Amino acid sequence: MSTDAMKQQLLAKIQDRSAVIGVIGLGYVGLPLAMEFVHAGFRVIGYDVSERVVDLLMAGSSHIQDVPAAQVREAVTSGSFVATAVESRLKECDAISIAVPTPLSKTRDPDMAYVLSAADAIARQAHPGLCVVLESTTYPGTTRELLQPRLEAMGLTVGTDIFVAFSPERVDPGNPVYQTKNTPKVVGGITPACVEVACALYASCIDTVVPVTSPEAAELVKLLENTFRAVNIGLVNEIAIMCDKLGVDVWEVINAAATKPFGFMKFTPGPGIGGHCIPLDPHYLAWKMRTLNYKTRFIDLASEINSHMPEWVVQKVSDALNDVRKAVRGSRVLVLGVAYKRDIDDVRESPALDVIRLLEERGAHVEYYDPFVAEFREEGHVRKGVELSDEMLRWADAVVIITDHKSMDYQRVVDHAAIVVDTRNVTAGLTPGRATIVPLASRTRSA
Ligand SMILES: NC(=O)c1ccc[n+]([C@@H]2O[C@H](COP(=O)([O-])OP(=O)(O)OC[C@H]3O[C@@H](n4cnc5c(N)ncnc54)[C@H](O)[C@@H]3O)[C@@H](O)[C@H]2O)c1
């Protein structure tokens, strides 16, 4: 069959929903995407190497907060979704999206092992007419230099026999407004036919599709978005440090600046950055640029400032304890919130973990409470949260607010705790209570 005939056949199958869609990696990105394809009327095969994830989904549960279990159950019982760890099921697919992890190695280099293993799995099961789209965040060049040769290893040619594109995932876990469907999707294909097919695929289930002329452009779009965030958070964290030295309230400055209706975008300081994206993605770009003998100064500086913030918070705790003649060693500290951001249950790269570690290294007894995280595993051991009670708040010599979950009753915290180090400005405007409030930046004040 000619390339054009294959393309027309696949476009027709996408159009009438007879195409079978594969999603590799059923995590924060892959599972919502799989559900969008189901919702659009496709039969979806979700392939994940984790038997635990597969069993859970096939039992009608969901491990992803943004995907209700009822939605998974309905998709499984109706036969429109199957989760499997059996690689050969990929043979049935007409199009496959890859949403596997892209972490950093210990030396902060890209760890492409998951992408390579997914690519090899597809290559073993590929057939002419297949469309493959990489969604995992990665450095510019990955789709062409890494994915394409792996897929072609079995004799298929990209642009002739199979269609290959990159389309960055932009999911924002816990965002009540923007989810997979209504977040525009950027798509860059290796050839014009590749981009045409991949755009048609995503247009079937996502409101707006934005084609770009190459996979490299699409790869860089994602890195620009997240580098933009990392750099601006770094800037505002440094402004917070400056405000502290100047004795100026950083929140007042930021909120007043944000009244400017043009030319300013509000970012807020905090205890550091977390999650699988902002702390990691800019390093993918920095790594790639190092291979081209270019030093990414903005990325490096933002990373230095942001990664220093947990130390800054611990210094605030230490100073506040010192003010009441207490040492960190032997003090009791209650950390409120360990998720890396508000209203989610994800602790990956969370600055709370650094704050806890630094406090414990200095000899503090640390407990935590998080309404979304009953327990978490770190370096092989499980840490369990405590229940939040008035007694628990009074038990602590210092309470540190790291994550500003909306359901938290901060008035209660201020009423019962002795010292509250508030890294998120959630105690502003509360009725003064027992606690001495220590903001992230600027002088100690009472609520
Ligand atoms: N989480 C986010 O908010 C977010 C947002 C945008 C982009 N991303 C990017 O999307 C990608 C996926 O991230 P995530 O948060 O969904 O990861 P995740 O850890 O939640 O899920 C990844 C899944 O892939 C599975 N997996 C790993 N290797 C596999 C393989 N070879 N074959 C099949 N399954 C495999 C794992 O078992 C896991 O279930 C990453 O590149 C990430 O940077 C994540």
Probe ligand 1: pick from 29, 63, 104, 186, max atoms within 8 Å of CB? 29
Taking only the tens place, the pLDDT of each residue in 249-278 is 999 999 999 999 999 999 999 999 999 899
Task: Report how far ligand 1's centroid is from the alpha carbon of 208 (Å).
Answer: 23
Q: In what order do the strands lie in the sheet with 436-439?
A: 365-369, 332-336, 398-401, 419-422, 436-439, 445-446
User: Is the CB of residue 72 less than 8 Å from the CB of residue 61?
Assistant: yes
Q: Torsion angle of alpha carbons 29, 31, 35, 38, nearest 10°?
A: 110
24 CB less than 6 Å from ligand 1?
Answer: yes
pLDDT at residue 53 in the model: 98
User: Is the CB of residue 369 less than 8 Å from the CB of residue 407?
Assistant: no
Probe ligand 1: pick from 26, 57, 96, 100, max atoms within 8 Å of CB? 100
Phi, psi of 384 (to 5 degrees): -105, 140
254 CB less than 6 Å from ligand 1?
Answer: no
Task: Report how far ligand 1's centroid is from the alpha carbon of 256 (Å).
Answer: 39
Phi-psi region of 48 (alpha: psi -120 to 50; beta: other; left: phi over 0): beta
Task: Report how far ligand 1's centroid is from the alpha carbon of 262 (Å).
Answer: 36
User: Is the CB of residue 94 less than 8 Å from the CB of residue 10?
Assistant: yes
Nearest atom in ligand 1 to 171's CA: 5
Strand (E) or helix (H) holding 332: strand 332-336
Residues in the chain, total = 447
pLDDT at residue 385 in the model: 98
Q: Torsion angle of alpha carbons 426, 428, 434, 437, nearest 10°?
A: 80
State in Å, rounded, how far the first CA of the chain is from the last one: 73
User: Is the CB of residue 396 less than 8 Å from the CB of residue 330?
Assistant: no
Is residue 49 classed as helix, strand or coil in its secondary structure?
coil
- DSSP lists the bridge partners of residue 162 as 158
Catalytic residues: 277
Which residue puts its alpha carbon closest to atom 30 of ligand 1?
118
Task: Report how far ligand 1's centroid is from the alpha carbon of 173 (Å).
Answer: 13
Distance in angstroms (rounded) separating the CA atoms of residues 425 and 270: 9
pLDDT at residue 65 in the model: 87
List the chain pLDDT tens, one digit each, 447 residues: 888 899 999 999 999 999 999 999 999 999 999 999 999 999 999 999 999 999 999 999 999 988 999 999 999 999 999 999 999 999 999 999 999 999 998 888 999 999 999 999 999 999 999 999 999 999 999 999 999 999 999 899 999 999 999 999 998 888 889 988 999 999 999 999 999 999 999 999 999 999 999 999 999 999 999 999 999 999 999 999 999 999 999 999 999 999 999 999 999 999 999 998 999 999 999 999 999 999 999 999 999 999 999 999 999 999 999 999 999 999 999 999 999 999 999 999 999 999 999 999 999 999 999 999 999 998 889 999 999 999 999 999 999 999 999 999 999 999 999 999 999 999 999 999 999 999 999 754 444
174 CB less than 6 Å from ligand 1?
Answer: no
Report the 10 Å Cβ neighbour count for 92: 13
Q: Pairing relation of β-strands 81-84 and 43-47?
A: parallel
158 CB less than 6 Å from ligand 1?
Answer: no
For the record, the structure tokens of 300 come out as: 């490096």
Distance in angstroms (rounded) separating the CA atoms of residues 80 and 435: 54
Probe ligand 1: pick from 24, 28, 133, 137, max atoms within 8 Å of CB? 28
The closest of 143, 138, 141, 148 to 109, measured between CA atoms, is 138
Distance in angstroms (rounded) separating the CA atoms of residues 247 and 178: 38
Task: Report how far ligand 1's centroid is from the alpha carbon of 28 (Å).
Answer: 7
Distance in angstroms (rounded) separating the CA atoms of residues 218 and 207: 18
Task: Report how far ligand 1's centroid is from the alpha carbon of 102 (Å).
Answer: 7
- DSSP lists the bridge partners of residue 134 as 98, 166
Taking only the tens place, the pLDDT of each residue in 87-146 is 999 999 999 999 999 999 888 899 999 999 999 999 999 999 999 999 999 999 999 999
Q: Which residues contact 298 (CB under 8 A, 6 or more apart)?
A: 227, 231
The closest of 307, 314, 312 to 283, measured between CA atoms, is 307
118 CB less than 6 Å from ligand 1?
Answer: yes
For the record, the structure tokens of 27 come out as: 């995590």
Q: Crossing angle, helix 250-257 and helix 215-246, to 10 degrees? A: 130
Nearest atom in ligand 1 to 138's CA: 41
Which residue puts its alpha carbon closest to atom 26 of ligand 1?
25
The closest of 163, 158, 119 to 138, measured between CA atoms, is 119
Side-chain-side CA neighbours of residue 360 (13 Å): 11
276 CB less than 6 Å from ligand 1?
Answer: yes
The closest of 438, 443, 405, 398 to 422, measured between CA atoms, is 438
For the record, the structure tokens of 418 come out as: 């002795």
Phi, psi of 176 (to 5 degrees): -75, -15
For 179, counting Cβ atoms within 10 Å of its Cβ (0-12 exposed, 13-18 middle, 19+ buried), the class is middle
Report the 10 Å Cβ neighbour count for 190: 21
